[in-house]
Structures are given as structure tokens and as C-alpha cells.
């Protein structure tokens, strides 16, 4: 049965607590009865009692949160997202104290436990000191008698945990007093949401509440690392790059253990995002390697437009560093006269007509091209990637052509290309 989905603004809380602790900050907000505190209070109450998850912003993307200790609550995530049940979830915490309690279940107090208390493995100390709170997820052993719902780990003996740098996210976790299982708040396989509007588009009628904290800053999900393996490994690229990780003690020889494709159907992924196709708009996505010649790209696109079998009626062009606006499909002066700003989803998305002479047709047809420049620096590309894919979906383009970047071009480059390869139906070099 469909539910009424409400969106409550809480952007002010992005400013954070200042010099106050989370507890002091939360006490002040409640004392002042601010609209934002009432929204957080309602969301926290739902997280403690409802089996329908709550959407909330983090610094990476919007998350779909549920009490990680209740099976019925976590099952709600899989139901709402229509997510495969063998895809594990990341547990979000507000403090190291909350994490230590997960590692040492309350029914096994140090005085009665049969085994010594579990500490966070020392391999993670340098990473935690440098990157927490932040877009980093660490893999930890799931203790005997774990308080985590079994659906969180998908039958693995480990779980992923992260402490978000978003003060708003940590405040919600603190107010709920629960660790939150929280994958991205989108329908499964779709581009991850970086605004509350993206969440509403995908999950309207499926969830009760979306906390609107504005745009997410990073734009791609957290980096997932496994320090329990030897050598330590990166399971998913994300907001923190491998070069940064290698600067930390014990991580100098970290290896890449993810694939940009998909795993065998029988494999259980060690981390989210490893197994299935993800981040995909409705349109077919064609990713061009970064060293592809712009002229070759233009010839390929022109051929697609002319080929009736391809069915490329309207197209999207997503540029990064080398492609020119319009890819030379029409002369620059034609674009200058005909360009139309499109503001339905993001700024600077423009459209222009492309006359096409299709094979076997005596007359030409006009097709529409939507063009967007993500920027040349990696952070801008990562920040706008999911938003532009969603925007092009709104205009029902048939094919999206994307200019790739080099995997070695900085901290976020590998994460960007990982997401694009999982979204793409084809990767080409011309």
C-alpha cells in the first residue's frame, strides 16, 4: 500500500554543533524546539519503531536508513529498494563508542563474556585517525552473538562500518540511538541520489519521510577497505583515493580487490557495489575511454543517429575534459543560435537540434541533443555525475555518450570510472 511521502527541510543542521558535543547540540535543539529538531525527532522515532526506512543526507549521497539491530527494519530497506538480499549493507555510527558496543554485544559484558572484549583491529587506527568522520567504510569481524540483524551482513562473517562526516547524519544517528544500516536511497540499479528530489523521484509512495539537507558534497559513495585481509585491500573505490590510503601506516601496500564489471552470480560480495550493475539510467550508456579521439567519437555518434536499428532519437552528451560542446554534430554558430537551457534538474544542461539523414530515408529528420559539461577537475565530475544521469532520464534520451577520465587522475577518478563502467552498456575506444 502506498504511503504519503513527506520531505522535511533540515539544511540548517549542516552547520554542525560547533564546539559542542553531539549530546549537547541535540539537547540545545530540543530545548529550543526548532523545526529541524522536530523533523529529526520524528525521523528518529520512525527509525526506532517503524519497519519503513527513512531517507537522510550524508556527505556522499542520500542514505536509506533503518535500525541495523532489527530484522524487520532492515528487511524494509530491501523491500523499498527492491535490492537483492545477498548485497550487504553498511552500518553507520555516530561515534567510536557506538562501534565498540557493536563489537562487544551488551549481553556479553566483559565480566561474563567467554572471550576477551573485541577491539577495533589496530590496522585501522591510522585510517580512523585521518579519515573519520568521513567517506570511508572499514570491514570488521561480526562478533558471536552480534546485535546486528543478519540481513545486514548477508551471511558474511564481517560487516562494514563508517562514521559519516555529515553532522546532520551523525545527529540523526545520535537522536535515534541506533546504528543505521543505510545504502543509497534510490531504487536498486538506478543512479545514486545526491538531492532529496532524487530520492522523492525514486521512492515516492514507498517511504514516509525524507530529510532534506540539500545537495551532497562528495557525490559518490564511500571507499570500502578491508584490513582483515593480507595485504589490506580496497573493495570499492569512493570518496577517498588509494594514494591517500597508502600514506597511512600499515596501508602502504594496499591492493585493489574490486572489478568494474560484475561478479559471478554465485559469489557473495564482500562489500556493497561489487556484484551487480549499478548507477544506471534508463537510457543506454556508452562510455568512451579518456584517450579516444573527439573526431572518432563524433563519427560514432553520427553513425548511431543515422542507424534506425540503434533507435537513437534523442541523445545525451556528457563531457569532461576534451570534448567540445555538441561534439561537432552541428557548427558552433548553429549551437549558439539554437541552444536552449534546460532547468528541470540541473543548471547548464542545454539542448540543440541535430539534422540527421538516416540510412534509406530520402528526407532528413531533426533529433535533439542534450549537452552537459561536468567540468575538468575530478571533484566536479564526481559531484555532478549522478545528477546529470538523472536529468537526462527526465528527458527520455535513448543513448547517453560519456567522456571518461583516466583512472589515475587523482583521488576520485577510480571511483568515477567504477561507477560509469557499472552504468555503461558499452565501453569504447575510438
Binding-site residues sit at 60, 83, 87, 92, 158, 162, 182, 184, 192, 222, 236, 279
Q: Give the contacts of 74 (CB within 8 A, at least 6 positions apart).
A: 66, 67, 68, 89, 149, 151, 152, 181
CA 181 to chain centre: 14
CA-based end-to-end distance of the chain: 49
Q: In whole angstroms, give the CA distance from residue 312 to residue 302.
A: 10
Q: Are 150 and 142 in contact (CB under 8 A)?
A: no
Known binding residues for L-threonine are 60, 92, 162, 182, 222
Q: What is the 3-class SS of the chain, one letter each residue? A: CCCCCEEEECHHHHHCCCCCCHHHHHHHHHHHCCHHHHHHHHHHHHHHHCCCCEEEECCCCEEEEEECCCHHHHHHHHHHHCCCCCCCCEEECCCHHHHHHHHCCCCCCCCCCCCCCCCCCHHHHHHHHHHCCCCEEEEEECCCCCCCCHHHHCCCCEEEEECCCCHHHHHHHHHHCCCEECCECCCCCCCCCCCHHHHHHHHCCCCCEEEECCCCCCCCCCEEEECCCCCCEEEECCCCCHHHHHCCCCCCCCEECCCCCCCCCCCCCCCCCCCCCCCCCCCEEEEECCCCCHHHHHHHHHHHHHCCCCCCCCEEEEECCCCCHHHHCCCHHHHHHHCEEECCCCCCEEEEEEEEECCCCCCEEEEEEEEEECCCCHHHHHHHHHHHHHHHHHCCCCEEEEECCCCCCCCCHHHHHHHHHHHCCEEECC
Annotated binding site for ATP: 83, 87, 158, 184, 192, 236, 279
Which residue bears the cell 568521513?
134
Cell numbers at 105, concatenated: 554485544
Amino acid at each position: 500500500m502506498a504511503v504519503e511521502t513527506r520531505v522535511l527541510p533540515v539544511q540548517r543542521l549542516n552547520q554542525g554543533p560547533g564546539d559542542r558535543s553531539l549530546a549537547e547540540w541535540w539537547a540545545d535543539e530540543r530545548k529550543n524546539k526548532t523545526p529541524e529538531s522536530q523533523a529529526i525527532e520524528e525521523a528518529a522515532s520512525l527509525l526506532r519503531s517503524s519497519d519503513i526506512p527513512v531517507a537522510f543526507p550524508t556527505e556522499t549521497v542520500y542514505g536509506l536508513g533503518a535500525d541495523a539491530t532489527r530484522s524487520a527494519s532492515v528487511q524494509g530497506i530491501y523491500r523499498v529498494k527492491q535490492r537483492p538480499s545477498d548485497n550487504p549493507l553498511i552500518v553507520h555510527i555516530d561515534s567510536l563508542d557506538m562501534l565498540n558496543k557493536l563489537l562487544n554485544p551488551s549481553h556479553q559484558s566483559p565480566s561474563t563474556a567467554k572471550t576477551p572484549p573485541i577491539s577495533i583491529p589496530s590496522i585501522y587506527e591510522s585510517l580512523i585517525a585521518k579519515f573519520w568522520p568521513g567517506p570511508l567504510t572499514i570491514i570488521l569481524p561480526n562478533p558471536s552473538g552480534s546485535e546486528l540483524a543478519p540481513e545486514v551482513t548477508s551471511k558474511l562473517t564481517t560487516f562494514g562500518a563508517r562514521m559519516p562526516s555529515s553532522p546532520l547524519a551523525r545527529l540523526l544517528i545520535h537522536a535515534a540511538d541506533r546504528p543505521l544500516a543505510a545504502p543509497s536511497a534510490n531504487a536498486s540499479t538506478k543512479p545514486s541520489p545526491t538531492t532529496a528530489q532524487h530520492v522523492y523521484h525514486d521512492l515516492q509512495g514507498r517511504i514516509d519521510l525524507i530529510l532534506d539537507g540539500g545537495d551532497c558534497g562528495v557525490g559518490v559513495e564511500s571507499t570500502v577497505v578491508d584490513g582483515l585481509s593480507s595485504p589490506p585491500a580496497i573493495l570499492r573505490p569512493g570518496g577517498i583515493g588509494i594514494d591517500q590510503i597508502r600514506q597511512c601506516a600499515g596501508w602502504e601496500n594496499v591492493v585493489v580487490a574490486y572489478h568494474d564489471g560484475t561478479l559471478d552470480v554465485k559469489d557473495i560480495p564482500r562489500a556493497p557495489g561489487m556484484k551487480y550493475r549499478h548507477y544506471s539510467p534508463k537510457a543506454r550508456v556508452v562510455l568512451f575511454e579518456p584517450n579516444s579521439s573527439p573526431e572518432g567519437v563524433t563519427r560514432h555518434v553520427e553513425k548511431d543517429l543515422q542507424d534506425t536499428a540503434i533507435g537513437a532519437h534523442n541523445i545525451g552528451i556528457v563531457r569532461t575534459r576534451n570534448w567540445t560542446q555538441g561534439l561537432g554534430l552541428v557548427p558552433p554558430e548553429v549551437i549558439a543560435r539554437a541552444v536552449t537551457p534546460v532547468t528541470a534538474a540541473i543548471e547548464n544542461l542545454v539542448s540543440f537540434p541535430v539534422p540527421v539523414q538516416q540510412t534509406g530515408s530520402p528526407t532528413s529528420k531533426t533529433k535533439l541533443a542534450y549537452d552537459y559539461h561536468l567540468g575538468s577537475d575530478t571533484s566536479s565530475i564526481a559531484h555532478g555525475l549522478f545528477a546529470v544521469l538523472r536529468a537526462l532520464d527526465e528527458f527520455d534520451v535513448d543513448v547517453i555518450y560519456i567522456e571518461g577520465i583516466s583512472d589515475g587522475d587523482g583521488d576520485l577518478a577510480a571511483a568515477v570510472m567504477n561507477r560509469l563502467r557499472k552504468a555503461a552498456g558499452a565501453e569504447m575506444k575510438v
